[in-house]
Structure 1
Amino acid sequence: MSEAPAGGGSAPGQPVPCRVVVCRDCCCGTAKVPGVDHAAQTARLRAEVPVRVSECLDACERANVIVVQPSAAGRAAGGRPVWLGLVNDPAATEDITEWVRAGGPGIAPLPEILGLYAFPPPRR
């Protein structure tokens, strides 16, 4: 008998959920953004959805940066990754987890409050 993976992953044969990328390198996830429990933020997100920790996403002026990637169904419905910046308080993290639980990009509309954090991805 197999168990569902920890961290909001899907069991074999189940639809792939949204995924989240958290920036944790030179600015995001460091003492440069004081007063944020970065480990708790990552753990809270992992409780709901698969999380990938990335090095610099080249949006340092918006630290902490989190990218919500659509599920397969969300992408099929036209959803695209949503970049969120200045995610520096637990309430914002909770807003992200609620949106992910509702389906995320392509499935559930972006909550108005998260629209305040959204920004276009940087050009590399």
Structure 2
Amino acid sequence: RKHPGVDHAWQLERLRAAAAASRGRFAVRTSDCLGPCGQANIVVVQPSAEGRRKGGRASWVGFAMDDASIDEILAWAEAGGPGVAEPSATLALQLVDPRAV
């Protein structure tokens, strides 16, 4: 409702299709609100087991409002996500510190 020009259903469909194609490497969960409304949409990328062993922590990506952002998030997840792969430079600019919320 906050961003009526954004096709949220399409974004979620893309994320779910990628998760299904990943054969269990990553999953998609939804929430009504994570808090930082001024930086919506927020997507949280959790580290894999390998990523956690390497010190990876959940990363909050803000301003995920378009296909380019979803592409970047999916590419990062495919590359291993937090602790395994660095986010792209563009995605790194979108990271949100959840403690500052």
TM class, shorter-chain normalised?
0.7 to 0.9
Task: Name the residue aligned to 2:57.
Answer: 80
CA RMSD of aligned residues (A): 1.4
| Number of aligned residues | 94
Structure with greater helix share of residues: 2
Task: Name the residue aligned to 1:35.
Answer: 5
1:20-72: CA deviation from partner (whole Å, max 9, x where unpaired): xxxxxxxxxxx211321101111111122310111211111111111100011
Q: Secondary structure at the match of 2:90?
A: helix
Task: Name the residue aligned to 2:42.
Answer: 65
Structure 1 residue 116 corresponds to structure 2 residue 86: no
The list of structure 1 runs, each at least 4 consecutive aligned residues, that deviate by more than 2 angstroms after superposition, is none
Work out which of the two has the higher radius of gyration on C-alpha atoms and give 1 or 2: 1
CA distance in 2: counterparts of 1:58 and 1:88, whole angstroms: 16
Residue type of the partner of 1:44? R
Instruction: Give identity over the alignment, percent.
Output: 49
Structure 1 residue 53 corresponds to structure 2 residue 23: no
Of 14, 18, 21, which residue of structure 2 is paired with 1:44?
14
Shift of 1:122: 3.9
Structure 2 unaligned blocks of 5 or more: 20-26
Q: Structure 2 length as normaliser, TM-score?
A: 0.86
Shift of 1:84: 0.8
